[in-house]
Amino acid sequence: MRSFRICAVVVTVAGLAACSNAPAQGEGSLAASTGVPTATAAGPTASPTPEPTPDERPLQSLLPADFRGTEAHTFPVGQDMLARLASAIGVRRRALEAAYASDHGPAFVQMYALRVSGHDPQELLDALPQAAYPNAPAGSITVEAGQLGERQVTVISEPSQAATIGSFYAFTDGGTLILAQALAEPVAEAALEELPPS
């Protein structure tokens, strides 16, 4: 008989505990209908960072086909720099898509169209100074906003190497980074003027 009473008490206490945790009738539907969020133990969830919109344009079509009537060379140039650039943003070199247009005549200029799927071209631009001048003394690389014709560009240069590899004039176009590398600013400006219309 005593064991029966103990069991009854245990069942009654468990039932009361369950009732005290249960929502009142209609309480759950009120929160849902009013749109008031309920607190959760997990806390707020962070929304994922949106991926950049893929740039599907053929890269070569973004560069000049010629420079003032001289056919542009499209062979790969600057491979060491591009390998450093890919490494700087944490991708393999083959993930860095590249197209080329260059004139290695008296008015030396090299142009690049660069992009990496899933990466903003600003990442490439931010990594470019160190990739372009890997052995430059600390603080010697300059990165400045500039204007070439009607185009706003970022000008990246290093005084001790200006006469050998030149300066870089860069801007982003959609999901692509466009670069002109030249020994003289007027040459870079003329090259940018030859770009196909966007």
| pLDDT tens, position by position, 99-138 | 999 998 878 999 999 999 999 999 999 999 999 999 999 9
- Yes or no: say if 113 and 60 are a contact pair by the CB < 8 Å rule: yes
Q: What is the dihedral of CA 155, 158, 159, 165, to 10 degrees?
A: -90
pLDDT in tens, 167-198: 999 999 999 999 999 999 999 999 999 999 87
pLDDT of residue 159: 94
pLDDT of residue 55: 76
Comparing C-alpha atoms, which of 14, 5, 110, 6 is closest to residue 64?
A: 110
Which residue type sits at 97? E
Domain residue spans of the chain: 2-32, 59-193
Alpha-carbon span 173 to 140, nearest angstrom? 28
- Yes or no: say if 128 and 118 are a contact pair by the CB < 8 Å rule: no
DSSP output for 1-55: -HHHHHHHHHHHHHHHHHHHHSPPTTHHHHHHHHTPPPP-TT-PPPPPPPPPPP-
Alpha-carbon span 92 to 117, nearest angstrom? 12
- As a whole number, the mean pLDDT across the chain is 81
Query: Would you state the structure tokens that stand for residue 148, as one six-digit string?
Result: 């070439």
Q: Which of 50-54, 100-104, 152-156, 185-189 is least confident?
A: 50-54
User: Does the reported pTM lie above 0.85?
Assistant: no
